[in-house]
Amino acid sequence: MDKAATAPAPDAVTSDASPPRSPAFMLLMAAFVGVVAGVGAWVFRLLIGFVHNAFFRGEFSVIYDANVYTPPNPWGLGVILVPVAGALLVAWLVKNFAPEAKGHGVPEVMDAIYYNEGRIRPRVALVKSLASAISIGSGASVGREGPIVQIGSAFGSTLGSLFPMAVSDRVTLIAAGAGAGIAATFNAPLGGIVFAVELLLVSINARNILLLTTATVVATRISHYLIGTSPSFFVPSLEIPNFSLLHNWGLAIFAALGVLMGLLSVAFIRGLYAMEALFDALPGNYYVRHALGMFCVGIMLYFLLEYTGHYHVQGVGYSTITEILQGGLSDPWFLLLLTALKLLATCLSLGSGASGGVFSPALFMGATGGAAFGHLCLILFPGLDIGVAAFAIAGMAAAVAGTTGAVLTAIIMLTEMTLDSSVTLGLVLTCAASYAVRKSIMHDSIYSMKLRARGHTVPEGLHAAILTSEQLQDLMRTDFTVVAAGPDIPEDVAFAIHTEQGDITAVSLPAPVSRTKPGSMYALSSFVRESNAATASDTARHRVRYLLLSPQASPLAAVRGIWTSDAQLILVSRNPDQRRAEDIAGVITPEILAQVLSRDKSLS
């Protein structure tokens, strides 16, 4: 098996080459990231408005309210070619300037954090902004959150490269930029913080939370000045809570909705990547494939406009969500049709190569599917005292939770985006059920599945990782004695380690034969006991390799060191660089690491 393809993700904390910067400096950097994220969210909206008005209305204006339906375009049947024109521009930008800008963005950020020491090319932010604005503005069924996450993260990474800092600090700035972008885009500061914590932060501590919160607060405050303080969706029917959710049968209905949203999440994830594989297998280049996919979307937009009066599945789709939450679109069968059409349009858009996020399409499908479920429940149970808007909001949160795996983010963000807490119990239960159903059917989320296809594995959700919290000094064996070189031990051996289990290991410390990080690899002469004799002269000699690490190193560093360098033994040294026998404080064997791995796995 190829180790390069299956090696564990690098530990962004233990592989730091530079010491952590001062808290004051990092606070300044986090605030700067927040400023860029807040302004970036505003500029990105203006770009979307400019492209949308130019492509669909033939006007040069940046004024655009995504929560209001777009009026019929002046092109007639030519509207079918609007998404195609956008596709050609997107393909040119992505192909020539930044391939990372293709797709929904968040997996690229996660990949940079876990596999590229938090390095994202600066041009990605610019290309992603333009490509996503063109995709959304020209009718592709994608969302705003993926682009703004990549924009904020790219700037955080750029700052971390311009100013020398530890990898852990650079990764924190990336997560802060992503959370700040989410907060500014959706006016959801708590949701932005939890999004970064659930999906992007490698570790959670007071320092990281302070930096993340600083960037998020600054970005949200700036967005208040530039965009406004209104919630993403206004739901008048929920201003006065009047739902009997405390009844067991009422909660059971929301649990059933969660099951259905979990199944919808599975269909979304599998459908998206199946469509991507289908387009990759088609003849032609990126231009042809993306144009073909968007041509199909254009046909959908034309027929929807002709038969319903609105585009519905075009862009982020917030106008349709708003109408549902305000009491419109009461036909459950039409709502189910919109759910299916949005699923198809999103898979066609992203599968063929559009640039944009999956959050907004998930919101749309959750709203339409949840509202359809609510209307059907009211038909079956006329006395049900639960408004359809409550089902729609719960469905929106559940679709996001099941699709992305960010359950807490979905719960908090939908509460902030609607400024309503009257349906909290139903929303929480629906999200939990949706995530559990999706997880039981398929392990990967819509983000991690893309990375797994590359052979890269990242954690989904929060984990209490023993491998990074413990230190080697907590695990090492100290039941050994150091034996000085003598007539029974070859002269090139400086000392021997004798354990109570009967092993005698004679260790020499010559010049290193190779260098790896962390620690250094040296030659080792080992004598394994064959009888009850107490001296090395009674043993058979063979060669092994070992690694020197400090007592403060993590078990994960030891696992990675053994994996990458074929070491057979870890020597814990108080001063690994000096390679002195008297500095050896303990021994870590592969058996010890296996026990730690087993314990960590059993707790996850």
Alpha-carbon span 25 to 41, nearest angstrom: 24
56 within domain boundaries? yes
Residue from 43, 78, 81, 77 nearest 62 by CA: 43
Are residue 438 and residue 518 in the same domain, yes or no? no
Are residue 203 and residue 253 in the same domain, yes or no? no
Over 80: is that where the pLDDT of 222 sits?
Answer: yes
15 within domain boundaries? no
Over 60: is that where the pLDDT of 221 sits?
Answer: yes
Token pair 């349009």 is at which residue? 345
The two structure tokens encoding residue 33: 């990231």
Please give the pLDDT value at position 591: 78
Residue from 137, 572, 144 nearest 311 by CA: 137
8 A C-beta contact, residue 281 and residue 356: no
Are residue 387 and residue 490 in the same domain, yes or no? no
The two structure tokens encoding residue 15: 């592989």
17 within domain boundaries? no
Please give the pLDDT value at position 2: 37
4 within domain boundaries? no
Are residue 402 and residue 543 in the same domain, yes or no? no
**Cα dist from 181 to 132, 257, 441, 442, whole Å:** 15, 30, 32, 29
The two structure tokens encoding residue 170: 């650079």
8 A C-beta contact, residue 536 and residue 530: no
Over 50: is that where the pLDDT of 499 sits?
Answer: no
Q: Residue 213 — pLDDT band, cuts 50, 70, 90? A: very high
498 within domain boundaries? yes
Are residue 222 and residue 240 in the same domain, yes or no? no
Over 90: is that where the pLDDT of 510 sits?
Answer: no
Please give the pLDDT value at position 573: 83
11 within domain boundaries? no
CB atoms < 10 A from the CB of 63, how many? Answer: 9
Number of domains into which the chain is organized = 3
CATH number for the domain spanning 498: value is 3.10.580
Kind plus residue range of the DSSP H or E element containing 570: strand 569-573
2 within domain boundaries? no
Alpha-carbon span 66 to 52, nearest angstrom: 10
Are residue 448 and residue 550 in the same domain, yes or no? no
Are residue 275 and residue 424 in the same domain, yes or no? yes
Share of the chain above pLDDT 70, in %: 80
Alpha-carbon span 109 to 100, nearest angstrom: 9
* CA trace torsion 180, 186, 189, 194 (10° rounding): -80
Angle at 112 between CA 106 and CA 117, to 5 degrees: 155
Stretch 388-408: mean pLDDT: 92
Over 90: is that where the pLDDT of 466 sits?
Answer: no
The two structure tokens encoding residue 584: 């050896």
8 A C-beta contact, residue 581 and residue 494: yes
Are residue 446 and residue 472 in the same domain, yes or no? no
- Please say which residue of 226, 257, 292 terminates a domain: 226
- DSSP code, position 548: E
- Residue pLDDT, tens place only, 138-197: 999 998 888 888 888 888 888 888 888 888 888 899 999 999 999 998 889 999 999 999
Alpha-carbon span 190 to 229, nearest angstrom: 15
- Please say which residue of 404, 420, 452 terminates a domain: 452
Are residue 320 and residue 388 in the same domain, yes or no? yes
Are residue 472 and residue 442 in the same domain, yes or no? no
Angle between helices 424-441 and 407-418 (to 10 degrees): 150
Q: Which domain holds residue 186?
A: 22-226
- Residue pLDDT, tens place only, 228-246: 888 777 766 554 444 555 4
Are residue 515 and residue 587 in the same domain, yes or no? yes
pTM (two decimals)? 0.78
SS percent in the chain: helix, strand, coil, step 5:
60, 10, 30
8 A C-beta contact, residue 272 and residue 346: yes
Are residue 366 and residue 220 in the same domain, yes or no? no
5 within domain boundaries? no
CATH number for the domain spanning 341: value is 1.10.3080.10
Residues in the chain: 604
Please give the pLDDT value at position 595: 77
